[in-house]
Amino acid sequence: MSLNTLGYYWREAFLSIFRNGWLSLASVGTVTISLLILGISVLLVMNAQAFTKSLESGVEIRVFLENGATREEIRDMEKELKKTPGVATVEFVSRDEALEEMRENLGDRKDILEGLEEDNPLPDAFKIKAEKANDVPALASQMEKLEKVDQVNYGRGIVEKLLAVIKWVRLAGGGLMVILGVAALLLISTTIRLSLFARRREIGIMKFLGATNWFVRFPFLLEGMILGFVGAAIASSVVYLGYVSLVNRLDEVLPFVTLVTDRQILLTVTGGLMGIGIVVGALGSAFSVRKYIQV
Amino acid sequence: MIQLYNVSKIYSNGVKALNDVTLHVRKGEFVFLVGPSGAGKSSLIKIVFREELPSRGQALFSGKNIARLKGREIPHLRRKIGMVFQDFRLLPQKTAYENVAFAMQVVGAGKRAIRNRVPEVLAQVGLEEKTGMMPAQLSGGEQQRVCIARAIVNNPVMIIADEPTGNLDPDTSWELMNLFNEINSKGTTIVMATHAREIVDTMKKRVLSMTAGRITRDEEGGVYSNES
Mean pLDDT for each 10-residue chunk of chain A (295 residues)? 75 83 85 87 79 65 80 82 83 82 75 73 82 76 80 72 77 80 83 83 89 88 91 93 85 69 82 91 88 71
Interface residue ranges in chain B relative to chain A, Cβ cutoff 8 Å: 49, 71-72, 74-79, 83, 89, 91, 102-103, 105-111, 114, 150, 154
Letter string b/e over residues B12-50, b meaning 16 or more CB atoms within 10 A of that residue's CB: eeeeebbbebebebeeebbbbbbbeeebbbbbbbbbbbb
Residues 6+ apart with CB under 8 A from A139: A61, A84, A86, A87, A128, A130
Residue B155 pLDDT more than 80?
Answer: yes
Please say whether the beta carbons of A180 and A282 come within 8 A: no
Give the SS3 label for residue B21: strand
CA B70 to chain CA mean position, Å: 23
Please say whether the beta carbons of A184 and A27 come within 8 A: yes
Nearest-CA neighbor of A9 among A295, A232, A212? A212
Q: Which residues of A touch B78 (CB under 8 A)?
A: 207-210
In a mutagenesis test of the B interface, which of A8, A205, A207, A290 is the best target, namely the one with the most B β-carbons within 10 Å?
A205
Q: Which residues of B touch A199 (CB under 8 A)?
A: none
CB contact under 8 A, A5 and B91: no
A218 → chain B, closest CA residue: B106
B150 → chain A, closest CA residue: A209
CB contact under 8 A, B91 and A201: yes
> Given CB atoms, is A206 within the 8 Å cutoff of chain B?
yes
**CATH architecture of the domain with residue range A60-154:** 2-Layer Sandwich (3.30)
pLDDT at residue A55, rounded to an integer: 64
Distance CA A212, CA B159 (A): 20
Q: What is the mean pLDDT of residues B183-199?
A: 95
pLDDT at residue B9, rounded to an integer: 95
Distance CA A277, CA A36 (A): 11
Nearest by CB to residue A4, choosing from B72, B89, B111, is B111
For chain A, residues classed under CATH 3.30.70.3040 are 60-154
Q: Is A94 left (phi over 0), alpha (psi -120 to 50) or beta?
A: beta
CB contact under 8 A, A295 and B71: yes
CB contact under 8 A, A202 and B79: no
The predicted-structure confidence for B42-99, as pLDDT tens digits, reads as follows: 999 999 999 999 999 999 999 999 999 998 899 999 999 999 999 999 999 899 999 9
| Distance spanning both ends of chain A, measured CA to CA | 20
Sheet order of strands, A60-65 included = A87-93, A125-130, A60-65, A149-153
**Largest alpha-carbon pair distance within chain A?**
104
Nearest by CB to residue A210, choosing from B79, B89, B91, is B79
Distance CA B35, CA B44 (A): 12
Residue B159 pLDDT more than 80?
Answer: yes
C-beta atoms surrounding A95 within 10 Å: 16
Q: Which residues of A touch B79 (CB under 8 A)?
A: 209-210
Please say whether the beta carbons of A191 and A227 come within 8 A: yes
Mean of pLDDT over chain B: 93
Residue B104 pLDDT more than 80?
Answer: yes
Q: Is the ipTM of this complex over 0.85?
A: yes
Classify residue A83 as exposed, middle or buried by CB count within 10 Å of its CB (0-12, 13-18, 19+): exposed
Question: What is the nearest CA distance from A223 to chain B, expressed in angstroms?
Answer: 18
Q: Which residues of B touch A293 (CB under 8 A)?
A: none
Q: Give A135's DSSP letter.
A: G
Q: Give A154's DSSP letter.
A: -
One-letter amino acid of A229: F
CB contact under 8 A, A210 and B111: no
Q: Which residues of B touch A211 (CB under 8 A)?
A: 75, 106-107
Residues 6+ apart with CB under 8 A from B34: B41, B193, B194, B195, B200, B207, B208, B209, B210, B224, B225
A294 → chain B, closest CA residue: B71
Please say whether the beta carbons of B98 and B90 come within 8 A: no
Q: Based on C-alpha coordinates, what's the Rg of chain A?
A: 31
pLDDT at residue A100, rounded to an integer: 82
Q: What is the mean pLDDT of residues B181-194?
A: 96
Please say whether the beta carbons of A225 and A281 come within 8 A: yes
Q: Which residues of A touch B91 (CB under 8 A)?
A: 201-202, 205
CB contact under 8 A, A215 and B110: no
CB contact under 8 A, B103 and A208: no
Distance CA B94, CA B173 (A): 24
Nearest by CB to residue A5, choosing from B49, B105, B154, is B105
- Minimum mean pLDDT range among A99-108, B40-49, B107-116, B202-211: A99-108
Q: Give B135's DSSP letter.
A: G
Q: Which residues of B touch A212 (CB under 8 A)?
A: 72, 75
Sheet order of strands, B158-162 included = B81-85, B158-162, B189-193, B30-34, B206-211, B214-219
Please say whether the beta carbons of A135 and A86 come within 8 A: yes
Classify residue A21 as exposed, middle or buried by CB count within 10 Å of its CB (0-12, 13-18, 19+): exposed
Nearest-CA neighbor of A130 among A77, A90, A166? A90
C-beta atoms surrounding B89 within 10 Å: 19
Please say whether the beta carbons of B210 and B33 come within 8 A: yes
Q: What is the mean pLDDT of residues B139-161?
A: 96
